[in-house]
């Protein structure tokens, strides 16, 4: 299939701009790069022109609530990716705006704690506070990349806490397994212009904070997903998260739908490219379906 001009442009920009640079570093260089990037947190400024936007504080962290004028009964909690270390970007908010438009749901966007200063237990504790504000109604979780992993792991946290589970969970290019022991990852890494494994090996020690990498709060690959109505995972084969997501899909969970595209970049549904149209429509219709 011929690539669209927009996809070609994304591939060129990610390669020329060396988007993967940080992910191929380690040690002090990695830490400095992360701390610098953590200063640039995107805000839902553009969304305020069309929707009601409120900000709430939970301890040292915050979350935004984005509500359309005619909202449905559904609340969608969106967990933005960033390798467990980077904050939300304008790209995420563009996609969030489209979810609001397509579903009519209220979107909740947590600025969850980031490594290296915080770890998985901090993330789960913060999200619990956010989630309980809405748990009495129809709540779904959506996350991309690390955010997809956090969404899936948060389900495990809720099960352990014996709290109400979300109606639906969507993982877009989710990072399912921090063990990084699947040989196929390193073959895909040669073609992935966006993410690399070098930094992730260091980040996982910060994020896990002593937990085993097979702990389902760290690696949702090893979790139990009974009790969830529906799960949708979306992946693509030019993405280092794909081998483990594909392997997870092979478990054949009865409540899971898996959609895999060929040779598209990490978190490709967030990009408005023709190649992502089918996946985007699948995500929107999945969330709209009662």
230-280 pLDDT per residue, tens? 999 999 999 999 999 999 999 999 999 999 999 999 999 999 999 999 999
DSSP 204: H
The domain containing residue 82 runs over which residues?
A: 5-288
Over residues 168-195, mean pLDDT: 97
Which pLDDT score, from 0 to 100, does residue 1 have?
66
User: From the CB of residue 189, how many other CB atoms can be counted at a distance below 10 Å?
Assistant: 18
Handedness of CA 8, 171, 208, 82 (dihedral sign): positive
Q: What pLDDT was estimated at residue 289?
A: 86
C-alpha to C-alpha distances, 259 to 166, 173, 236, 245, 262, nearest whole angstrom: 21, 10, 8, 10, 10
Rounded-to-integer distance, Cα 151 and Cα 194, Å: 21
Q: Is 13 exposed, middle or buried (0-12, 13-18, 19+ CB in 10 A)?
A: exposed
**pLDDT given at position 171:** 98
Contact 125, 141 (CB under 8 A): no
Domain count, the chain: 1
Nearest to 154 by CA among 77, 266, 52: 77
pTM as predicted: 0.97
Q: Is the dihedral of CA 98, 99, 100, 103 positive or negative?
A: positive
Give buried/exposed letters for 19-55 (b at 16+ CB in 10 A, else e): bbebbebeeeebbebbeebbeeebebeebeeebebee
Burial (CB count within 10 angstroms: exposed 0-12, middle 13-18, buried 19+), residue 275: buried
User: Does residue 83 have a pLDDT over 90?
Assistant: yes
Mean pLDDT of 31-35: 97
| Banded pLDDT at 136 (limits 50, 70, 90) | confident
Say which CATH number the domain at 75 has.
3.40.50.1820
Find all residues with CB under 8 Å of 290, minimum gap 6, and list them: none
pLDDT at 15: 87
168-177 as b/e: b if 16+ CB within 10 A: bbbbbbbbbb
């Amino acid at each position: 299939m011929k690539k669209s001009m927009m996809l070609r442009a994304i591939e060129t920009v990610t390669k020329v701009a060396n988007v993967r640079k940080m992910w191929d570093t380690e040690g002090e260089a990695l830490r400095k790069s992360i701390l610098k990037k953590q200063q640039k947190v995107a805000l839902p400024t553009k969304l305020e022109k069309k929707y009601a936007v409120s900000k709430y504080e939970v301890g040292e962290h915050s979350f935004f609530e984005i509500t359309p004028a005619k909202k449905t009964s559904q609340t969608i909690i969106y967990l933005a990716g960033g390798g467990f270390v980077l904050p939300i970007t304008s790209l995420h908010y563009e996609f969030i705006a489209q979810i609001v438009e397509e579903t009519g749901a209220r979107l909740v966007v947590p600025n969850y704690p980031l490594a290296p200063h915080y770890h998985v237990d901090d993330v789960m504790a913060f999200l619990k506070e956010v989630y309980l504000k809405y748990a009495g109604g129809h709540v779904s979780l959506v996350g991309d990349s690390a955010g997809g992993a956090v969404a899936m792991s948060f389900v495990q946290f809720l099960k352990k806490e014996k709290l109400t589970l979300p109606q639906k969970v969507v993982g877009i290019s989710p990072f399912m397994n921090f063990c990084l022991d699947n040989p196929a990852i390193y073959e895909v890494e040669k073609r992935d212009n966006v993410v690399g494994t070098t930094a992730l090996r260091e980040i996982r020690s910060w994020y896990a904070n002593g937990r085993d990498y097979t702990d389902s709060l760290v690696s949702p690959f090893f979790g139990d997903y009974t009790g969830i109505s529906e799960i949708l995972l979306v992946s693509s084969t030019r993405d280092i998260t794909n081998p483990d997501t594909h392997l997870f899909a092979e478990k054949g969970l009865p409540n899971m739908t898996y959609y895999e595209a060929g040779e598209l970049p990490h978190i490709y549904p967030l990009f408005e490219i023709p190649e992502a149209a089918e996946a985007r429509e699948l995500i929107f219709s999945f969330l709209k379906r009662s």
